[in-house]
Structure 1
Amino acid sequence: MRSAAVKAGPAAAVPSCPEWTVLDLVRHQAAVHSWAAQAIVTAPDAGPPEWSKPPKEWDEALAWWDSQVRVLLARLRETPPDRPAWTFDGTNRAGWWARRQAHETSIHRLDAELATGHDVPTLLFDSEFAADGIDEFLTVMVPRQLQKGRAVEGTGRLLVHAADAGRTWDTRLTAGEPMVVTAVHDSAVDSDATLAGTADAVYRRLWGRPSHAIVSGDESLLAAIPRP
C-alpha cells in the first residue's frame, strides 16, 4: 500500500473513495494503525482508545505512518493473542486486531493502487485470505455499521458464493433489523439474489471496489447492506 501511495503521489484522487486524495488515504490508514496499536494494550472495560491525528504534510504523514506500523506490528508479535484487549465487537482479545488490520490494509491497498491509474489492480488476494475477508465483512463489519446507527435497507435472501474457496454464506436481510449470516455448504440454496465469483472478486465487490463478481437476481439486496 505504501509503495502504491508514493507512486500515485499525495494529490492524486482516489477513485474508490471519491472525496479523498492519496494524502487523505494515507492519513486515514496511519490513524487506524495507531488506534489499533493502542487498542491491543487497552483493557476491555476501558472503552475505545482516542483517535490520533496524523500530520497534515505528506512527508511527515508518511514518517508518522511508518512509526505507527512498527508499533502495531511489535505489539501484535509481543502480545499473547488471547490477552484481554478492547475490540469493537465484544470479542475482547488482542489477536482479533491482526485479522482486522490485515483486511483494513488490504482494501486500502486496492485504493492506493487505483489512485495510480489502474482501473482494476493486478494484485490478486489468496483465495483463503479473501474468503476470510468476506466472512469478516459480513459477520464483523456490517454489525459494526448497525452499532453506529446504520440500517439494513431491504428485505430478502442474498447468497454469497466464493467459488474457488468453496465457501458460501446465506445472508438474510430484513429492513431495519440485524442481518443474519449463516455459513452453508450448498450454493444451490433458494435465494432472491446471488453474489458469486472468485473469493478475490467477491471480497472486492462487498467492499465496493472494482470487481468481476457477478450479481444475479435482485441486485438491490447487495445495495441494502450498510458498508463501512
Structure 2
Amino acid sequence: MRSAALKAGPDAPVPSCPEWTVLDLVRHQAAVHSWAAQAVVAEPDAGRPEWPKPPKDFDEALSWWDNELSVLITRLREAPADRPAWTFQGPLQAGFWARRQAHETSIHRIDAELATGHELPSLVFDSEFAADGIDEMLTVMIPRQLQLGRQIAGTGRLLVHAADAGRTWEVHLTSGEPLVVTDVQDSAVDADATIAGTADAIYRALWGRPSHAIVSGDQSLLAALPRP
C-alpha cells in the first residue's frame, strides 16, 4: 500500500473513495493503525480510544504512519490473541485487531493501487484470507453499521458463494432488522440473489471495489447492505 501511495503521489484522486486524494488515504490509514494500537492495550471497559490526528504534510504523514504501524505490529505480536482488549464489535480480545487491521489495510491497498491508474489491480488475495474478509464483512462490519444507526434497505435472501475457498454464506435481509448470516454447505439453496466468484472477487465486491464477481437475481439486495 505504501509503495502504491508513493507511486501515485499525494494529490492523486482515489477512484474508489471519490472524495479522497492519496494524502487523505494515507492519513486515514495512519490514523487507523495508531487508533488500533491504542485499542490493543486498552481494557475492554476503558471506552473508545481517542481518534489521533496525523500530520497534514505528506512526507510527515508517511513517517508518522511508519512509526504507528511499527507500534501496532509490536503490540499485536506481544499480546496473546485472547488477551482482553477494547473492541467495537465481537469478542473483546486483542486478536480482533489483527484481523481487522489486516483487512483494513488490504482494502485500502486496492484503493492506493487504483490511484496509480490501474482499473483493476493485478494483486490477488489468497482465497482463505479473502474468505475470512468476506466473513468479517458479513458478521462484523455490516452489523457494526447497523449498531451505528444505518438500516438494511431491502428484504430477501442473498447467497454468497466463494467456490475456490469452499465457503458459502446465506444472508437473510429484512428491512429495519438485524442481518442474519449462516454458513451453509449447499450452494444450490434457493435464494433471491447470488453473488459468486473467487473469494478475492467477492471480497472486493462486498467492499464496493472493482471486481469480477457475478451477481444474479435481485441485484438490489447487494446494494441494500449498509457497508462501511
Structure 2: how far apart are the matches of 1:96 and 1:227? 19
Q: Give the TM-score normalised by the residue count of structure 2.
A: 0.99
Structure 2: how far apart are the matches of 1:120 and 1:41? 37
The DSSP-based 3-state class of the residue aligned with 2:137 is helix
1:86-97 pair list within 5 angstroms: 86-97=86-97
1:10-159 pair list within 5 angstroms: 10-159=10-159
CA contact (8 A) 2:90 2:140 kept: no
CA contact (8 A) 2:173 2:179 kept: yes
Q: Deviations over 1:55-88 (max 9, x none)?
A: 0010100000000000000000011111110001
Structure 2: how far apart are the matches of 1:90 and 1:14? 31
Structure 1: how far apart are the matches of 2:5 and 2:15? 13
Structure 1: how far apart are the matches of 2:40 and 2:76? 8
Structure 2: how far apart are the matches of 1:12 and 1:162? 33
Instruction: Using the TM superposition, give the Cα deviation of residue 90 of structure 1 relative to its aligned residue in structure 2, in angstroms.
Output: 4.0
Q: Deviations over 1:167-212 (max 9, x none)?
A: 0000000001011000000000100000000000000000000000
The DSSP-based 3-state class of the residue aligned with 1:125 is coil
Task: Quote the residue 2:227 is aligned against.
Answer: 227
Structure 2: how far apart are the matches of 1:19 and 1:90? 30
1:170-189 pair list within 5 angstroms: 170-189=170-189
Q: Deviations over 1:92-132 (max 9, x none)?
A: 10111000000000000000000000000000000000000
Q: 1:205 to 1:34 in 2, by over 3 A?
A: same
Aligned partner of 2:143: which letter? P
Seq. identity, %: 79
Structure 1: how far apart are the matches of 2:152 and 2:95? 29
Aligned partner of 2:142: which letter? V
Structure 2: how far apart are the matches of 1:185 and 1:55? 48
Q: Give the TM-score normalised by the residue count of structure 1.
A: 0.99
Q: Deviations over 1:129-159 (max 9, x none)?
A: 0000000000000001011111100000000
The DSSP-based 3-state class of the residue aligned with 1:169 is strand
Structure 1: how far apart are the matches of 2:81 and 2:165? 26
Structure 2: how far apart are the matches of 1:61 and 1:150? 32
Runs of 4+ in 1 over 3 A off after TM superposition: none
The DSSP-based 3-state class of the residue aligned with 2:83 is coil
Q: Which runs of 5+ in 1 are unaligned?
A: none
The DSSP-based 3-state class of the residue aligned with 1:171 is strand
Structure 1: how far apart are the matches of 2:171 and 2:93? 26
Q: Which runs of 5+ in 2 are unaligned?
A: none
The DSSP-based 3-state class of the residue aligned with 1:45 is coil
Q: CA RMSD in A?
A: 0.5
